[in-house]
Amino acid sequence: MDVKKFFSTKFNEVNIRNGPGINYFIIGKHLKKGLPLLVIGEFDNWKRIVNFLGVEGWVANSQISKKRFGITVVKRSEIKSFPKNNSKVLMVLGEKINFPIQKCNKEWCRIKYNNITGWVEKKNFWGVLEREVFN
């Protein structure tokens, strides 16, 4: 696999191992469903991942989902009604807030958090590639 791609944790407890197999040591755990993981490699039924903190390791394919999630990496991130800087602010998010991503254009993603649906600038969160667009 030569293209980096985002996935997310499928369960509330996902082991990170130091190699691609259950005989390798557990070097960490993701303790929340829906955390974004960047896949940087593959071997058999395992993906080499990096999380938003920069931790690298191996996760079994059965433990990850193709559902897209983001996590804020700045102290203040605004959810806007439209993907424009001058549109109405619907909510302000703090740091390390996790949310599902519905779709993205080049600079903004539509998300849902606490029954609020709106747009967040890509630069404010981790979970999508820089110019990635999807519906």
DSSP state at residue 85: T
Per-residue b or e along 66-92, where b marks 16 or more CB atoms closer than 10 Å to that residue's CB: eebbbbbbeeebbbbeebeeeeeeeee
pLDDT at 2: 57
Would you call 124 helix, strand, or coil by DSSP? helix
CA atoms within 13 A on the CB side of 79: 20
**pLDDT of 4 strictly over 80:** yes
- Distance from C-alpha of 102 to C-alpha of 134, rounded to nearest angstrom: 9
**92 backbone φψ class: left, alpha, beta (φ>0; ψ -120 to 50):** beta
**pLDDT tens-place string over residues 54-92:** 999 999 999 999 999 999 999 999 999 999 999 999 999
- What is the rounded average pLDDT of the residues 110-125? 97
Please tell me the pTM assigned to this model: 0.94
pLDDT at 14: 98
